[in-house]
A and B are shown apart, each in its own frame.
Chain A
Amino acid sequence: MAHTGTHSQPVRSCLLLVVVSVCVQQVHGVWPLPQQLHQSADRGCLSPQRFSFTYGRDSAAQTGCSVLDAAFKRYFSIIFPDFTKGSENRLQYVWSEPQPFVVSVSVKTGGCDGYPDEDSDESYNLSVSEGQAVLRSVTVWGALRGLESFSQLVYQDDYGSYFINKTEIVDFPRFAFRGLLLDTSRHYLPLHAILKTLDAMAYSKFNVFHWHIVDDPSFPYQSRTFPDLSNKGAFHPFTHIYTQSDVMRVIEHARMRGIRVVPEFDSPGHTQSWGKGQPGLLTPCYKGGVPSGSFGPVDPTIDTTYKFMESLLKEVKFVFPDSYVHLGGDEVSFACWQSNPNVRKFMEKMGFGKDFTKLESFYMESIMNMTAALNRTSIVWQDVFDYHERIPQDTVLEIWKGEKYQAELSRMTQAGHRVLLSAPWYINHISYGQDWRNSYAVQPQNFSGTEEQKKLVIGGEVAMWGEYVDATNLTPRLWPRACAAAERLWSNEEKTLNADLAFPRLEEFRCELLRRGIQAEPLFVGHCKHEYDGL
């Protein structure tokens, strides 16, 4: 970039263009699409030097509000990406004082030091007019969503001047739970990969990070109660773990962006790595009357198992502030339980006959009750519902099986349970071409059921399972493909069903992601003004 001699150009051209702006309509899209958006062709110029965020006089939050102070700082650099990189003497030769622009943020309630939760009001109103924008919301979380929208409304012309059109937005999410699952067990994801994902989630207004933190292949969570779990169960006890301070950093980074962190400690299956650090936890499998040396799911027949789970869940409650905990409960293989004579004896004693789903049910019920006793809401995978009748009513069920998820939605909501939809959004499954369109076409409430039933669908999750994903390819595989579900979960469905109409807006948004340093892959042929600069 050549700076000499052109210092004043951005400002001058900006003023000139204000005059002709009426005939140059350059309306800028917002992703996900706000519920109500009215933009006019009138545009105003933003000067980084005269731009500011302030708290409205009537705002419950004022300077000192950790979440919003940090957000102002963050969004300033996002809105003016050239400012921090630009030359120091840019302003010296300006021949006329640029107009100030003030974004005034008012929130009804404080809560700057709290955490977002299932009931957080994320709605906001944004009104952009000449020289100012007024952002009003009930909570700081709503203000964050509004700041994100505001940042997407600002654009640069060919001279680098910043503009924003007169805009009125009334916005709120369609679903309260808009999640993204990362799997840190199949491959370890370095902390910076998780933090980067949280950044990108905020840009798409996701609000739940579902941390599938442990599974069969490895146990990277360093437990304060049971340090051997990661000492022996992680890929490496020092380089491939999440320490307590790592976890705290993730939670705080997420909180600053209005994102909840819901950890998943999946059991009784998917627990191979747990067994290494917790002898006696897993069921010994038998072959021909003797232990084969291999292990199956958690052993549901012995008291020590439940003592262990209770301690672990107590720790989880202590470490993770969110009121939800994901307990897993999927894909339990019964072969090992079947082979074990003690398990068979227990089955007999309990009168389960040969129905091992009853045994699984018994186990899940115990730990769901444990969780409830800790004042936490359980989320479980659909298997738990499919097998069992008795599930605590406030348990949230998550649908992951690909076929006939609509019928499952009907059944679960009919039974009165709150439901999360993930099945059509397993975006670790890749294919050639524009597969974001499939994610976009999903209609989470399109199943047979009453209005009451539809309301029980509290949202959905994009899942990026880790079999084939690690730090090398995670980000381009997630973005912008996850954006499709983000819009489905936030926006009005009727206004956003046409993927062809969404395409140019999404293309623009992915370039914006690149501009913000998110390695989002292309949707199709073309280019961005600022291409990805890394490798």
Chain B
Amino acid sequence: MYCLLKLAPLFLAVAVCNGWLFGDFVGKQKEQDEISLWPLPQKFQSSAVAFKLSPASFQIVHAKQSSAGPSCGLLENAFRRYFEYIFGDLKKSEKSRKKVYDSDLVELQVWVTSADPECDGFPSLQTDESYELSIDEPSAVLKAANVWGALRGLETFSQLVYEDYYGVNKINKTDISDFPRFAHRGILLDSSRHFLPLKVILANLEAMAMNKFNVFHWHIVDDQSFPYMSRTFPELSQKGAYHPFTHVYTPSDVKMVIEFARMRGIRVIPEFDTPGHTESWGNGIKDLLTPCYSGSSPSGTFGPVNPILNSSYDFMTQFFKEISTVFPDAYIHLGGDEVDFRCWESNPDIQKFMAQQGFGTDYSKLESFYIQRLLDIVAATKKGYMVWQEVFDNGVKLKADTQIHVWKGRPQYQDEMGQVTAAGFRALLSTPWYLNRISYGQDWVNIYKADPQNFTGTDAQKKLVIGGEACLWGEYVDATNLTPRLWPRASAVAERLWSDKSVTDVGNAYNRLVQHRCRMVKRGIPAEPLFVGHCRQEYKGL
């Protein structure tokens, strides 16, 4: 790994901007060493001309032409957040106005161009996140169609500011035109194997915004616990959570997560995984799960959701009606993975039902039967759905806009991506990004190298790949170790999903990522080190 370090500077000059209008500047400017943009913008041009930013005079403001104004709470909030990221949390006394010099950059004008800036809306899969950023004196201009693109541009702007040797904040003359390569760039957190306190979730939403992630996939419940407090079925968390008061997400907690995410342009997609992974549901809802048999009598244990009872579907109808109103996003993740058939097999009523339906002994048909009815229930709530790949593999009839989430290592995920897209479905990749799996050393490199479009297929198929998700499953993770385990390893996924496909130089990425992780640390995120070295400001928490 030492050799990687030594080679990295060589790569830096070559790869930073993929040859777009850069030519002459390479080598001329020492300041380019300061480039720490992450993820790398699509088009980027910078010059050695640097402007100073004074905390006393610099402002982030709405451009005159902008459709957003002071009433846009989302942007006002973001302006303050990014001002603090750039200058630190200044005391008011220090903000007294000083003389403005010619070489100062006095403001960043944020210009939202669409008639509807979407200040009070929610981001969606269709959201245009592109932005243009032009930094020149006396004003920098950030242009975006809506607030979501403006948020991405603000993050980029904050990353362009650096401190020179005298501690002066500077920014170089720069032009950026940027947009994401994939529309769905997600992080999965699992709050069932271990309960994650609200502040851990919020801190990670902060970190996601720093990395331009835009989907929080909330694997909120599973076998081990049911921390989601349902209004319709309060007994689910009363009996299914690790603790009914301390280890639950109340409706206002959920609202807070959704709003906190919205302010950062992040969608919240909840996952309510069925028919497997539901042990904890059974504690609160009698008869929801299949009683397993040992010989000819019930063993006292329970298996997946019982797919042969109408009461199961009645429950799901009411439950998902609630979910569809609580979570504003157009999509719900319905799970559908890893259904263990042994319990179904043991149950005589299920066997009878199988015979009636003519399923023979093929329990995947029973699973499909369940899923199909569930999909109809969810479709009636006007939500789209995401499912894990098994649902597709088992041949369940799916709506055309269903998103198939690829997670398995076997068969090869490239083949699965090919098949899913060949069938015309939209695909999401997670297989190479199970970040809960750890190993010694710089494993971010392999994370970085994986590409969701790296499979055999037509261009049309490639277009069906809407993105991917980094997953941090919770078996070995809780509040104590989640954040350093996720960051900066998830940052590798962030760049793969945002930046141009050609941005693959590991040496160059290493240099930028080292700085990016120090930036996250400076902003209070305990992102772990990539390798030997130091940050000017080390992590102060603990």
Q: Is the interface of B mostly helix, strand, loop or mixed?
A: loop
Q: How far is the CA of A473 from the CA of B482 in the complex (A)?
A: 10
Whether A279 sits at the interface, judged by CB under 8 Å, is: no
User: How far does the alpha carbon of A428 sit from the alpha carbon of B529 in the complex, in Å?
Assistant: 13
Interface of chain A, main secondary structure: loop
Q: A188–B538 contact, CB under 8 A?
A: yes
Binds A, one of B177-185, B251-259, B471-479: B471-479
CB atoms of A524 and B476 under 8 A apart: yes
Assess whether B521 is interfacial by the CB under 8 Å rule.
yes
- B166 on the A face (CB < 8 A): no
B453 at the interface (CB under 8 A from A): no
B 182-211 contacts with A by CB, 8 A: 193-195, 197, 199-200, 203
A520 to B479, CA, bound (A): 10
Number of A-B contacts (CB under 8 A): 140
Q: Would B534 and A534 count as touching, CB distance under 8 A?
A: no
What are the residues of chain A within 8 A of B483 when measuring CB–CB?
472, 535
Which of B247, B436, B480, B524 is the one whose CB lies under 8 Å from A532? B480
Q: Does A290 contact B (CB under 8 A)?
A: no
Q: Is the CB of A525 within 8 A of B475?
A: yes
Q: How far is the CB of A532 from chain B (nearest CB, A)?
A: 4
Answer whether residue B225 sits at the interface, using C-beta atoms and an 8 A cutoff. yes
Give chain B residues whose Cβ lies under 8 Å from the Cβ of A471: 526, 538-542
Interface bits A122-143 vs B (CB < 8 Å: 1, else 0): 0000000000000000000000
A188, A428, A429, A534: which contacts B541 (Cβ < 8 A)?
A: A534
What's the least CB distance linking A464 to chain B, in Å?
12
Identify B478's interface contact among A466, A470, A472, A532, CB under 8 A: A532
B1, B197, B477, B534, most chain A CB atoms within 10 A: B534
Known: A192-B542, A521-B478, A525-B474. A472 touches B534 (CB 8 A): no
Interface stretch, picked from A234-242, A366-374, A409-417, is A234-242
A233 an interface residue at 8 Å Cβ cutoff? no
Which residues of the other chain, A, contact B193 by a CB distance below 8 angstroms? Answer: 525
Stretch at the interface among A345-353, A390-398, A430-438: A430-438
Count the A residues whose beta carbon is within 8 Å of the partner chain — how many?
46
Contact A188 B480 (CB under 8 A): no
Q: Is A531 touching B195 in the complex (CB atoms < 8 A)?
A: yes
A514 at the interface (CB under 8 A from B): yes
Q: In this assembly, does B235 line the interface, its C-beta being within 8 Å of a C-beta of chain A?
A: no
Contact with A along B1-26 (1 / 0, CB 8 A): 10000000000000000000000000
Nearest-CB distance from B504 to chain A (Å)? 23
A236 touches B528 (CB 8 A): no
Q: 1/0 contact trace for A457-490 toward B, CB 8 Å?
A: 0000000001111111101110000000000000
Q: Tell me if A404 counts as interface (CB < 8 A to partner B).
A: no
**Contact for B440 among A218, A431, A433, A526, CB less than 8 A:** A431
CB pair B438 A432 closer than 8 Å: yes
Nearest neighbor of B223 in chain A, beta-carbon distance: A525
Q: Which residues of the partner chain B approach A188 to less than 8 Å between Cβ atoms?
A: 534, 538
A467 to B246, CA, bound (A): 37
CB within 8 A of B480: which of A432, A466, A521? A521
Neighbouring B residues of A526 by C-beta, 8 Å = 194, 224, 242
Q: Can you name 11 A-B residue pairings with CB atoms under 8 Å?
A: A190-B542, A240-B538, A468-B531, A469-B528, A470-B538, A472-B521, A476-B484, A525-B193, A527-B225, A531-B246, A535-B200
Known: A467-B532, A471-B539. 18 other contacts (CB 8 A): A187-B529, A187-B533, A187-B534, A218-B534, A236-B534, A428-B440, A431-B440, A432-B436, A468-B440, A472-B527, A473-B529, A522-B478, A524-B476, A525-B193, A527-B242, A531-B479, A535-B203, A535-B479
Chain A to chain B: the 6 pairs with minimum beta-carbon distance, closest first: A476-B481, A473-B484, A472-B526, A527-B242, A235-B534, A473-B528
